[in-house]
Amino acid sequence: MVVSSVASPLCTWLVAACMSVPCEKDSSMRISGFAPSKRLSKWVRRQRVVLKGGREDFPKGLISAFCGASIQGLMSSCLAFEPCEEYYSSKGLSLSPSSLSSFFGESGFSLFGWKEGTTRRQRRLVNRATSGKTMNVAVEPSKEVVKKEKPVTKQRRVVVTGMGVVTPLGHDPDVFYNNLLEGVSGISEIEAFDCSHFPTRIAGEIKNFSSDGWVAPKLSKRMDKFMLYLLTAGKKALADGGITNDVMNMLDKSKCGVLIGSAMGGMKVFNDAIEALRVSYKKMNPFCVPFATTNMGSAILAMDLKWMGPNYSISTACATSNFCILNAANHIKRNEADMMLCGGSDAAIIPIGLGGFVACRALSQRNEDPTKASRPWDVHRDGFVMGEGAGVLLLEELEHAKRRGANIYAEFLGGSFTCDAYHMTEPHPDGTGISLCIEKALSQSGVSREDVNYVNAHATSTQSGDLKEYSALIRCFGQNPKLRVNSTKSMIGHLIGAAGAVEAVATIQAIRTGWVHPNINLETPEETVDPTLLVGPKKERLDIKVALSNSFGFGGHNSSIIFVPYT
């Protein structure tokens, strides 16, 4: 009775382990206390296990968990494994003394050795007669055990349900895009400060902007303009997406997030603080530090909306917006959010910002004719034109959008990032980082290159950047005669960290309207550029199948995002 009570739990685990553990063949293994080493080696060499009832062969190379050198070894190996399902079933093995007899016969064998009085001849006969039967019990899993497979998780789709912009060509997505279609330039002389002593005196400056009705007056007096643009564009995107007060009250705010970045941050707030410090620290804006940081715009917008989901800011220079959009979409795909406001904002047209880019020798100096200054791919381009503003998309999980009856503008498929790892401001000479980024974006989105027929290019109107991107586009899509390429920067300049988001709005508007805007100022294309791929001086009709939007930034940051019509 004592032996039975001790043996039963131990035997249960040993047999369970035997039934579930594959081990590699090892001629040095021994089964201490169960059979002599000669018997074990003979068994290992067997190619087939004799199964009860003539069942199929046992897989070669599998051996039971009875491979320790002692009871302690057996226990340590067994405890690491879970018994198979048959063990737990009502028809599972019962290791009572009577059932052991049915396995091993009345042979005098027990789990703790041979009974006294058993001769060597009897042991040999028992080994021959019962070894196959024993292994059938020890290692043959039941055919009735069905392997449970993980349920297939349906991919969460991401759609665009709202857009908001603050740009040199208007602060409404429709007004903004209509001006683009008409080829209107937003480049003009800078009026915010005296720049007569600078070699560059033009920019895509926002002349008349008011945050009334969007930002509390007390905050607007102290905030940097990049934050005012961000908050205004973000709330306009919500209004455009039909997020009324009633809808807002019904949202699960723990699954609503904000991811709007900035390349330059609160430059004016920080510059003003330095000037005040020259007098006394007591003259400094007490909010100068938080209002200068790039994350605070997203944070304050979330505070205003009471949105408690993912909230942070990404800063990757001129690629900032695309990084934010793609990461926001990934939060939705991973079920970490149902709704995300995302994009970018910058307001660097101040003396220190203008002076910094002049020092880089990156800006156009076509001051006499501002509207002609930004001219991507043109032989006579002489640098980019600074711009300012913000662009915000409201991304939403498809089923969530459908339940609330949202107007869906387009579907976001995906995108990718790479790094040139080459130079602070210059792209890689071969454009390899850009090509890799585009190819990865296509792969990640499940899109073939033949389906891409519209590219909103990063093309900033710089000597090297335009051609490197063009070469990468030809490398990826050169065999597609239906491809059309344009640059929004030809009309609004380069909005730095906001560029990608504002251009994403232009891309979505092209999908919605079926019209792509022109490339203005492309009077003499570079010899290496095929003008038939570039949109001409007038808007063009295009039934967009897949649209790609590129953004690249100082530091070698490359980003590509993909939109398609929602179907």
Q: How many CA atoms lie within 13 A of 401 on its CB side?
A: 24
Q: Give 238-259 pLDDT, tens digit per residue.
A: 999 999 999 999 999 999 999 9
Q: Is the confidence at residue 277, as pLDDT, over 50?
A: yes
Per-residue pLDDT at 456: 98
Distance CA 521, CA 525 (A): 10
Residue 318 a catalytic site member: yes
Q: Is the confidence at residue 106, as pLDDT, over 60?
A: no
The mean-pLDDT minimum among 123-137, 498-512, 542-556 falls in 123-137
Out of 400, 428, 458, 517, the active site residue is 458
Confidence band for 279, pLDDT divided at 50, 70 and 90: very high
Out of 171, 331, 494, 557, the active site residue is 494
- Return mean pLDDT, the chain: 82
CA dihedral 460, 464, 469, 472 (to 10 degrees): 180
Per-residue pLDDT at 478: 85
Out of 78, 318, 324, 342, the active site residue is 318
How buried is residue 192: exposed, middle or buried, by Cβ count under 10 Å (0-12/13-18/19+)? middle
Per-residue pLDDT at 78: 40
Q: Give 196-232 pLDDT, tens digit per residue.
A: 999 999 999 999 899 999 999 988 888 999 999 999 9
Instruction: Taking residues 281-287, report their average pLDDT.
Output: 91
Per-residue pLDDT at 129: 53
DSSP code of residue 130: H
Q: Is the confidence at residue 452, as pLDDT, over 80?
A: yes
The mean-pLDDT minimum among 308-312, 350-354, 420-424 falls in 420-424
Q: Is the confidence at residue 93, as pLDDT, over 70?
A: no
Confidence band for 148, pLDDT divided at 50, 70 and 90: low
Cβ-contact 516, 483 below 8 angstroms: no
Instruction: Tell me what percent of the residues of the chain surpass a pLDDT of 90.
Output: 67
Distance CA 492, CA 392 (A): 17
Instruction: Tell me what percent of the residues of the chain surpass a pLDDT of 70.
Output: 73
Cβ-contact 231, 304 below 8 angstroms: yes
Contacts of 409 (CB under 8 A, 6+ apart): 159, 160, 161, 163, 508, 511, 512, 566
Confidence band for 133, pLDDT divided at 50, 70 and 90: very low
Residue 437 a catalytic site member: no
Instruction: Taking residues 379-397, report their average pLDDT.
Output: 98
Confidence band for 430, pLDDT divided at 50, 70 and 90: confident
Q: Give 12-39 pLDDT, tens digit per residue.
A: 444 444 444 444 434 443 333 444 444 4
Q: Compute CA distances 161 → 121, 147, 516, whole Å.
A: 84, 42, 20
3-class secondary structure, 355: helix
DSSP string, 257-319: EEEEE-SS-SHHHHHHHHHHHTT-GGGS-TTHHHHHSTTHHHHHHHHHHT--S-B-----GGG
Instruction: Compute how many other C-beta atoms are within 10 angstroms of the C-beta atom of residue 416.
Output: 21
